[in-house]
Amino acid sequence: MLGTGFIGRFYTDSLIGYRSRDEVVSVYSRKMESSKKFADDYNVPFHTDSMEEAVDRDEVDVVCISLPNHLHEEAVNLCVKHRKGVICTKPLGRNADEALRMMRAVEEAGIFNGYLEDLVYTPKFLKAWESVKAGAIGRVLWAKSRETHPGPHSDWFWDKEIAGGGAILDLGCHCIEIGRNFIGKDIRPVEVMCWADTQVKPIDAEDHAIGLVKYESGAIGQFEVSWTFRGGLDLRDEVMGDEGTIWSNGFMRTGLEIFTSGKSGGYIAEKAESDSGWLFPVGDELNELGYNHMFMDMFNAMENGTEPRETFYDGYVVNAVMDAAYKSVKSKKWEPVALDVWRGQTGVTKHDHLTEYDSDYYLVKEEITHYGAKKLILKHKETGKIEERVGED
């Protein structure tokens, strides 16, 4: 385990607890006292403030990177050097160039690589995603994801140079990958329009952003992210298809409500702003945030010699989309997504999905009127003329 902070402890709680056969055998922190405290808390046999010493140990099978963004590439290169499998927290890099270098390094070395995007492993997301794959809502036209909260826990997040950005990089990576999964990871994101600003916090990076990601199929992904939202952690997804809609609330108002005076104090839930009044904690935080299913997928894939659902390639694509978002914030225009490596479909258009009525017409709409007649709205393929037919089978 590289990193002993908030996310490192979340990861460790999950990976040692869910499958009940995995263990942390080596831990690194930039401060020796932090590595020792972590080792004592989790009964880890080796701790150090040398990243290479933590990685280069015979008993280490895979390295989990839970470090600040500016240290990801250094850690990945050490895994390549010592031929260790690697799983890395989000975002993969501070930008697409950094992510691409890491992706190429692990692939050329032939080592296992996994991208730890926990929010595409939450139970609610997995249920929604399986329904989408089964065709429950038809072709996905629009996927919206929102993550907002009062701001991250550690100081480095707030430093634009160390982190690489603000709320877009921290939270947008989640929302973009949720959208990609719903729309189809083989459908190419082509351009982005994004607004972002620093509305509240005394920082250089953005603390609030809204963006649109246009896909080659005509589908739209939408993300809303904020470090200025008051009230805790808000995770919501909406997915619309031509045959249905899915709404999901991942963390707030999910059925568990507690009122307390606050006398007992203590931890309530991630990003909770209060320990008194009406509170809405989730039942099992590790599970509801996707950590359990994520590590199950990663370790099962390692043991089976297969790829996990999320790899460094996915992290690279997400970084490329975020790069376009940052360019759009400055230009106030749609900006293209620059992908030097693309492994999905090409040449997909929204016209590929038009519903035919017959050899001459597309079907626009079919309905039963209030007086019981069947009505068809048709478009002629050649002339483009819209026609209405009533009472036809």
Which CATH superfamily, name and number, covers 6-90? Answer: NAD(P)-binding Rossmann-like Domain (3.40.50.720)
pLDDT at position 267: 61
Look at the block and give the residue holding tokens 């009122």.
259
CA 50 – CA 78 distance, rounded (Å): 11
Tokens 């040449």: give the residue.
347
At 278, list the tokens: 């009406």
Q: Is the dihedral of CA 201, 204, 205, 209 positive or negative?
A: positive
Tell me the C-alpha to C-alpha distance, in Å, between residue 251 and each of 18, 26, 124, 142, 359: 20, 32, 10, 22, 49
Number of neighbouring beta carbons within 10 Å of residue 10: 18
pLDDT-flagged residues of the chain (< 70):
255, 264-274, 351-352, 392-393
For tokens 């790829």, name the residue.
307
Which pLDDT score, from 0 to 100, does residue 271 have? 55
Closest CA to 76 of 91, 62, 65: 65
Asked whether 14 and 291 are in contact (CB, 8 A), the reply is yes
- Token pair recorded at residue 351: 């016209």
**Alpha carbon separation from 229 to 38, 233, 268 (Å, rounded):** 31, 8, 18
Residues 7-19: tens digit of each pLDDT: 999 999 999 988 8
User: Do you know the residue count of the chain?
Assistant: 393
Tokens of 167: 């709320």
Contacts of residue 70, defined as CB under 8 A and 6 or more positions apart, other chains included, come to 94, 156, 161, 162, 163, 164
At 77, list the tokens.
């290169």
- The pLDDT, as a whole number, for residue 268 is 59
Annotate 295-314 with DSSP letters as a single string.
HHHHHHHHHHT---SS-HHH
C-alpha span between 357 and 266 (Å, rounded): 62
Measure the CA–CA gap between 251 and 258, rounded to whole angstroms.
14
Q: What is the pLDDT of residue 368?
A: 87
Tell me the domain boundaries of the chain.
Answer: 6-90, 119-291+307-336, 354-390
Residue 319: helix, strand or coil by DSSP? helix
The model carries a pTM of 0.89
Q: What pLDDT, on the 0 to 100 scale, is given for residue 60?
A: 98
**What pLDDT score was predicted for residue 393?**
56
CATH of domain 119-291+307-336: 3.30.360.10
- Supply the DSSP symbol for 354: P
